[in-house]
């Protein structure tokens, strides 16, 4: 009997180095929300944020209305959430953070005032990172295990600062489809849980002049098609799926209804590991330490300064 002919599809793999997930799951799923609230308005318009009342109401909807709804819904499905919260927002909106903790969700680091780390000096970045570290530890009773740099503005100093402070994972970078390792100059390491811009809700929904972001607003159906297309391929490829959303954006009723439908569909399909970012990072770190998985390793920073080929006046950059 002739052997079945190999198809083109059988000759290659979308993800060549899949991570073995707990329970034989095909995919690890992280639902995350960045509770920026009104920090992003104050840092963008420090002198007149108080006069931009409409936008401030838009942003404060996140901690005051959306976070309780998000917690209620995800808890009903038994799905944990990781919330990335700026230190200032922990202090300004303590009830929202208390609700996260009550539901057993993870509270992770997201800068102090949603500042851009890559525009800071090393000392200034260290100061604000440590300050938020202390705010979260004081409020939650435990040190934050992970960070997402505001605006994903990871600096050439971030790896050193984060590993020095004991952060275990980052979720700001995009160099792979599955979790990988960041190695700092010191040799210390972080687990990187990579983001993916189609999985962010800003491009789909945010339209606000004060935030200098005016995208055509998609329907929840259109956004969900993008999110689930990513899930479908990651489930087949035994990969990793991470949502990067914001309470003031995706916490609105119509969008939450579609998120509920997504969770129901994922649970119906099965073989999905729903976990916090901390649990995902711990699992990857354990596999690596036990020699059961060999991830990609990125040594950061990639470059220390301007590359030599672009010495001043060496190459015309504009016509």
In a domain, 12, yes or no: no
Q: If pLDDT is split at 50, 70 and 90, which confidence band does 309 have?
A: confident
In a domain, 104, yes or no: yes
In a domain, 68, yes or no: yes
Q: Which CATH number belongs to the domain containing residue 221 in this structure?
A: 3.20.20.370
Given a cut of 60, whether residue 269 has pLDDT beyond it is yes
In a domain, 114, yes or no: yes
Given a cut of 80, whether residue 313 has pLDDT beyond it is no
In a domain, 260, yes or no: yes
**φ and ψ at residue 61, rounded to 5 degrees:** -55, -30
Given a contact cutoff of 8 angstroms between Cβ atoms, the answer to whether 218 and 51 are in contact is no
In a domain, 140, yes or no: yes
Given a cut of 80, whether residue 188 has pLDDT beyond it is yes
Given a contact cutoff of 8 angstroms between Cβ atoms, the answer to whether 227 and 243 are in contact is yes
Q: What is the number of domains present in the chain?
A: 1
Given a contact cutoff of 8 angstroms between Cβ atoms, the answer to whether 149 and 170 are in contact is yes
Mean pLDDT of all residues in 217-221? 98
Given a contact cutoff of 8 angstroms between Cβ atoms, the answer to whether 214 and 208 are in contact is yes
Tokens describing residue 97: 């953070």
The Cα 91–Cα 196 span in angstroms is 29
Residue 1 is predicted with a pLDDT of 61
Domain residue limits at 153? 23-45+55-304
What length is written for the chain? 319
Q: What is the pLDDT of residues 79-108, one digit of tens each?
A: 999 999 999 999 999 999 999 999 999 999
Q: What's the DSSP call for residue 216? A: P
Q: What global pTM score does this model have? A: 0.96
In a domain, 72, yes or no: yes
In 3-state terms, what secondary structure has residue 15?
Answer: coil
The Cα 53–Cα 68 span in angstroms is 23
In a domain, 319, yes or no: no
């Amino acid at each position: 009997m002739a052997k079945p002919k190999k198809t083109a599809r059988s000759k290659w793999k979308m993800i060549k180095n899949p991570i073995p997930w707990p329970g034989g799951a095909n995919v690890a799923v992280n639902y995350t929300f960045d509770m920026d609230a009104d920090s992003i308005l104050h840092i963008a318009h420090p002198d007149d944020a108080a006069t931009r009342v409409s936008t401030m109401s838009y942003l404060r909807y996140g901690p005051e209305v959306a976070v309780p709804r998000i917690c209620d819904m995800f808890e009903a499905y038994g799905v944990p959430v990781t919330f990335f919260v700026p230190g200032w927002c922990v202090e300004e909106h303590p009830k929202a953070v208390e609700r996260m903790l009550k539901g057993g969700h993870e509270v992770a680091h997201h800068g102090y005032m949603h500042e851009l780390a890559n525009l800071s000096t090393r000392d200034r970045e260290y100061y604000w990172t440590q300050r938020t570290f202390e705010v979260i530890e004081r409020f939650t009773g435990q040190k934050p295990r992970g960070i997402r740099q505001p605006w994903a503005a990871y600096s050439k100093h971030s790896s050193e600062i984060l590993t020095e402070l004991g952060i275990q994972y980052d979720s700001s970078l995009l160099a792979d489809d599955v979790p990988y390792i960041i190695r700092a100059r010191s040799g210390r390491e972080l687990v990187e849980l990579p983001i993916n811009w189609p999985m962010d809700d800003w491009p789909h929904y945010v339209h606000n002049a004060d935030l200098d972001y005016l995208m055509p607003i998609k329907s929840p159906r259109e956004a969900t098609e993008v999110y689930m297309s990513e899930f479908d391929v990651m489930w087949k490829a035994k990969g990793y799926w991470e949502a990067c959303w914001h309470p003031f954006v995706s916490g609105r009723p119509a969008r939450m209804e579609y998120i509920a439908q997504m969770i129901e569909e994922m649970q119906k399909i099965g073989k999905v590991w729903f976990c916090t970012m901390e649990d995902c990072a711990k699992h990857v770190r354990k596999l690596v330490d036990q020699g059961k998985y060999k991830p990609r390793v990125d040594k950061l920073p990639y470059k220390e300064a301007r590359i030599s080929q672009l010495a001043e006046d060496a190459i015309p950059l504009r016509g």
